[in-house]
Amino acid sequence: MDDPKVASHDAAPAFGGGQDAFYAKRNIVPLPVIERAAGIHMWDEDGKRYIDVSSGPVVSNIGHGNARVADAMAAQAKTLEYAFARLARNRTNIDYSERLARLAGPGFERVSLTSGGSEAMENALKFLRQYAIATGRASKRIIITCQPSYHGATIATLAMNGEVMMAPFLEGFAAMSEKVPAPFGYRLPENHDAESYARHCADALERKIIELGAEQVLAFVIEPVGGLSTGCVVPPAAYIRGIRDICSRHDVHLVFDEILCGTGRTGKFLAAHHWPDALPDIVTMAKGLGSGYSPLGAMLAPARMVDELAGLTGFEFQYSYNANPVSCAAGLAVLDEVERLDLVACAAERGAQLRAGLEDLKARSPVVGDVRGLGLLLAVELVADRETKAPLPNDLLPADKVRIHGLRNGLMIYSRPTSGGRYGHWFIVAPPLIITEEECRELLGRLEATLNDFVRELGVADA
């Protein structure tokens, strides 16, 4: 297959360059210049076609080139492109908030909009801190998160992430969250199975709250279904119920970061809907909300808390682009498509098909150790030895190599080492929810060719 165009710092122009001009030179890898996209496909400047295996970083839920969304945005931009939310209300914001809150269901009646996931996460922290102060619990300021985890790239959210490689950058620069172990289920400590390890992880949360003093702890923030940080870990139901009970017992807010796993991706509109008896207090969303058409994020909170706070101090922090009418129009049109095309059901159906195909691939490929996830949010973990589950050496850069072989085979795959590969190496399979049965088969065929190329490069005997 043809090699995609190779981005090179040597070729950087005197002025400008792409976003990649900022990336580390040692990480120079083939980055195709994408010219257009439609459905689950993208085409580069040379006309080479790629399947968008991971919807970018799990963003493009409704697929590319959707004319209904583009038309709705254009119509809004021509009518009212902007109205500052501190000075005026706009109808699209009111309509969108109602629509989103209705889909999220009871407990998530109020919607605070942002330009993306990191801002939504920051809003959740600020809202809870403001609520704690206004309700006479001002000592509550500590956030607990999982190790590993990912919650964003602003300074505050970087400090929440369970990403060990960032420690020197953040030390003395940001208020670090306290960490508890993520409920991994594949490579487990001795004498544990997935259920007992998840119990151990929930116990670790309670021990941490007690050690810090519950009166100091504001919130426990978790990705209910993992993204890139854990390779789509799905905790056992007992874990979710366990952390809900622990948080309630200690007056600690439970926050679900559904920035990546929300908006129908897992086969329910919210991942939280998989565990209806253990709903969180706050949900953050982004990515699939705008589906690539507009930057859009949201913090969903109960009317009970928002209305109480509004009667006390209010929650007045504002970004200039909050509730931007064009973004809200995009968000509304995306939700129209989610419902018109029944994409939540598609996530469950096509997710089952892809998962079965990936399990078959696992049976054939010497480097596939685990396939996990929920709905159309799946991860493939790469290993050196399937029996021992030994990870591939970090210096092989396995996830990056698979990404590059993927490009050669016409696949755009989201993968990057997390925590320097300390927990293993994986890549994400999360195509747009509009993917058809036939397209799933093509994706699986190209992925098998990609993994075979990777295995040949490694020189593994039974490739």
Ligand X SMILES: Cc1ncc(COP(=O)(O)O)c(C=O)c1O
Distance in angstroms (rounded) separating the CA atoms of residues 414 and 395: 19
122 binds ligand X (CB under 6 A): no
Residues 377-416, mask of contacts with ligand X (x by CB under 6 A): ----------------------------------------
Q: Which residues contact 30 (CB under 8 A, 6 or more apart)?
A: 3, 4, 5, 6, 7, 404, 407
The correct pick among 4, 227, 391, 424 for binding ligand X (CB under 6 A) is: 227
Which residues, in sequence order, are bridge partners of residue 222? 256
- Nearer residue to ligand X within complex by CB, 101 or 260: 260
The correct pick among 39, 107, 116, 185 for binding ligand X (CB under 6 A) is: 116
268 binds ligand X (CB under 6 A): no
Give the CB-nearest residue to ligand X. Answer: 117
286 binds ligand X (CB under 6 A): yes
Distance in angstroms (rounded) separating the CA atoms of residues 441 and 424: 27
Query: How many residues of this chain interact with ligand X, rule: CB under 6 A?
Result: 15
Angle between helices 67-79 and 325-340 (to 10 degrees): 150
Q: Judged by CB under 6 A, which stretch of 151-159, 174-182, 262-270, 388-396 contacts ligand X?
A: 151-159
Q: Judged by CB under 6 A, which stretch of 110-118, 124-132, 395-403, 419-427 contacts ligand X?
A: 110-118
CB 161, min distance to ligand X, A? 9
The torsion angles phi and psi of 37, rounded to 5 degrees, stand at: -150, 150
Contact 265, 288 (CB under 8 A): yes
CB 231, min distance to ligand X, A? 12
Give the count of beta carbons closer than 10 Å to the beta carbon of residue 125. Answer: 24
The correct pick among 4, 32, 56, 117 for binding ligand X (CB under 6 A) is: 117
118 binds ligand X (CB under 6 A): yes
155 binds ligand X (CB under 6 A): no
CB 308, min distance to ligand X, A? 27
Residues 240-259, mask of contacts with ligand X (x by CB under 6 A): -----------------x-x
The correct pick among 32, 39, 107, 152 for binding ligand X (CB under 6 A) is: 152
CA angle 60, 331, 336 (to 5 degrees): 90
Task: Tell me the residue type at 211.
Answer: E
Distance in angstroms (rounded) separating the CA atoms of residues 427 and 380: 6
The torsion angles phi and psi of 101, rounded to 5 degrees, stand at: -65, -40
DSSP secondary-structure letter at 268?
Answer: S
Q: Judged by CB under 6 A, which stretch of 115-123, 267-275, 359-367, 379-387 contacts ligand X?
A: 115-123
- What is the enclosing helix (H) or strand (E) of 197? helix 194-212
Distance in angstroms (rounded) separating the CA atoms of residues 263 and 117: 13
- Nearer residue to ligand X within complex by CB, 43 or 319: 319
- Nearer residue to ligand X within complex by CB, 55 or 97: 55
Q: Judged by CB under 6 A, which stretch of 148-156, 354-362, 374-382, 419-427 contacts ligand X?
A: 148-156
**How far is Cα of residue 147 from the mean position of the Cα atoms in its chain?**
16
The correct pick among 223, 370, 381, 453 for binding ligand X (CB under 6 A) is: 223
Label residue 65 left, alpha or beta by phi (over 0 means left) and psi (-120 to 50 means alpha). left
Query: Judging by beta carbons within 10 Å of its beta carbon (0-12, 13-18, 19+), is residue 366 exposed, middle or buried?
Result: middle
Task: Tell me the residue type at 232.
Answer: C
CB 316, min distance to ligand X, A? 22
Interface with ligand X by CB under 6 A: which residues? 57, 116-118, 121, 150-153, 223, 227, 257, 259-260, 286
